Structure 1
Amino acid sequence: MVQFKAPEESLGNLNAEAMGSLIAAAGDVAFIVDAEGVIRDVAFNSAELAQEGSEAWLGHAFLDTVTKESRPKISDLLEEAKQGQVKRWRQVNHPSPGKPDIPIIYYAQQLDSDRTIVVGRDMRAFATLQQRLVDVQMSLERDYARLRDFETRYRLLFDMTSEPVVILDAASTKLVEANPAAHRRFGWTKGAGGRAFFDKFDGTSKAELQQLLERVRSVGRAEEVQVQSSEDGSEFLVSAFLFRHERSLLFLVRLSPVAEQGESDMLPKTRSKFVKILETTPDGFVLTGPDQRIIATNSAFLEMAQLATEEQVRGEPLERWLGRSAVDLNVLVANVREHGSVRLFATVLQGEYGMSSEVEVSGVQVVNGEQPCFGLMIRYVDRRSQGQQPQSSGDSRASGELPRSVEQLTDLVGRVPLKEIVRETTDVVERLCIEAALELTGDNRASAAEMLGLSRQSLYVKLRRYGLGDLEPEAGD
């Protein structure tokens, strides 16, 4: 510590009040301690310390105001001041009832044989910062440990997998890293980074690989491709994934040797072909979730719905395009839920720009975890008359029943006036439609009326007219 060069001249006229103000301003707290170590006067520059009840220190021995482990430090502090030795700041703790101890660092200066000035600074803010620093360091250590665990698992998985796996730079398609299986398969040595990966495959396979990586780069995913090695003719199924590392984009490329695969290992290849067939089939295909919102479609459905991309339909409700009304889709899904599958459900598909087409829908339910998914195959149909074969004997009119087919109606020509044939034709169509609606809705007359565009009362009138079903009204009608 460097002292004033001429304190007698520069501070000689300083009165006691000014001196007290300077001592109090030098720290957060200042004591005047007598020769026996008792605090005779105290000044606070910190309102927070004053509120802690520290004014009660006045008149007590300095040693009694600190914790037990801090008393040797106070004794050394006062002794060094009396002996005129090199002085040091010493940190001690004052007990605070019901609260953490108060850390304060003190400096002591002997005034005369009876008085010692002790100046202290509150270290709680500094202690809080230290604790935060420790907490942050511990958190970082935990994060580092977790990252090291992840890296170890990744490295073990990367090294122990029996299939060749390589990492390529997305910009140059150069080799960045390869696992031991890839080193063995392609004869690479360690430190093979920077090699041209495509050189290990024939010309057609190079083009397939380039297209695969381009699709992954543009849309984030792509189907597996089969390639052939230019060295020994061995074949691989190749899949690729794009990921980011720091500021670089990398490809993780997995190569499954076809020649070494058993029957179960060929399943991914078979399923890949199956998916391709499903995507290119001329019939529309839709995969929906339990809420009938579209998950995936093929291109044929997009063409039917007059749409360009799958993104336009993904997440949208299927009833926006399929069904005469919401009842159609509800009936279809209800039957699929109950029976597991439905065949040739007749309905209408509405295009985005107003085109309407008669279609047949076959559906199946697949349980995916706890939630079912629904796969629907949609096919255009022409207008076909459905009915039973003509009755083998007699006129349908003679039996009191309506004709059930076009053949029966044409048999009436010459025996019944045209006006009656037309009327009966209308009755045939109306009865068949009502029967079909009741069958599709599981004999739910309210849903059947909505499907047919009739009121419930009108439907009951027609049911009585044709003698169809139980004529007792449903509950709530």
Structure 2
Amino acid sequence: MAEFHGPRADVTLLLDMDGVIREATLSPNMASENVDAWLGRPWSEIVDDASEKIERIMQDTKRTGISAFRQITQRFPSGLELPMEFTTVLLGGRAGMLAIGKNLQAVAELQARLISAQQTIERDYWKLREIETRYRLVIEDSNEAVLLTKVSDLRIIEANRTATSALGASGRRRDNLVGREFLQEIPPKDRELVELMLRRVRDQGKAPGIVVHLGEEAAPWMLRGSLMTSETAPMFLLQMAPIGKAVQPGPVPDDPEALIDNLPDAVISIDVTGAIKRANRAFLELVEIGSKEALIGEKLSRWLTRPGADLSVLISNVERHGAVRLLSTTIQGELGTETEVEISAAAYGLDSHRRIGLVLRNIARRLSPNGEHDNLRVALAALNESVGKTPLRKLVKSTVEVVEQHYVRAALELANGNRTSAAEILGLSRQSLYAKLDRYNLSQPEESDDEETEKGS
């Protein structure tokens, strides 16, 4: 056969018109493989689950003279399996076909390393977002007044609620304080001293604290400053602590509401439309929002990954049964963090005063070796090992079946075995649910209320 001088061919096969290998040549970097056993065998017999691709390659070659590049897993007599990319060319006079293959193992390894690096970067990004959220929550609840101002013009960039109250802005929105010049918020008699301190901070990075008088009562506060660098421009970090009696950001009553506000699990109250009426600190952290004022009146569906399904199912089941336990869903925070949660809910009140109380528990870090979610992950991880060895269509079909079984079981558990309710949760007709139960051998005796529903229908 004529020697092939194409770019970096690792495997070259001379085939007859029926796809039987007549000659095989390997590149020097694969010289350790002995492929004499290939001679006289159909090419489709020495590839891993890719016989259909081989047939399509040869049909394309016979019809157009050259086939498109296709990826297959080539199996060698030594047992080695390599991902390879092949194209096939028709020889003159239809004397046969020449299959030219390139080893993609290095590319696959680079892709795997790239994916691993991307996942590491993504994890680091979300850790940074979590640190930023916690930083904002700590600053917001601090008893000290904290402000960030530009060095260039001393305009306020950020201010916590204690600073807003100390600077006499309690009667206006905090957004009106942001953007104002810091010196204009200081009494005229103290401005020159503050300017001197800030000039020293700008030149030396820090300066001794000074006393300023704020508010209508001219209460004394200790002002400290430090210089911060950022990507855009340097900033002043200003901290003001009251001298004498500490000023609390807000009342802390000794009542059940204070207890709920300090619970580690998120607790909220919504009306029948899903609008939030009350929320504790844990919920603020979960949805990554700094103040309760920004939450009140917002719909819970804003942070649900499936707002139309999850919220409607939750409210309808609470109205029907009075309570819901352990509804699994995902909350997406304002900074993009997704958290798996379980929701338990109950209704109270009547008419326009009717409310639904919810407890949202973060289950993302729950250790459950025998749990359904881990079973799902294990099953999907097993499918990942088939990538490159199994056709994509078969992989997708197997993945869909695994996921369908998982969620059908979850819906049945949520509905306590009631198939009618499970079908409603999944958005399926009862007939479709029965078909899936039979397909996955999940059939079980129906609950009595399900039978009554069928009789009534």
TM (normalized to structure 2)? 0.47
Higher relative contact order (CA 8 A, sep 6+): 2
TM (normalized to structure 1)? 0.45
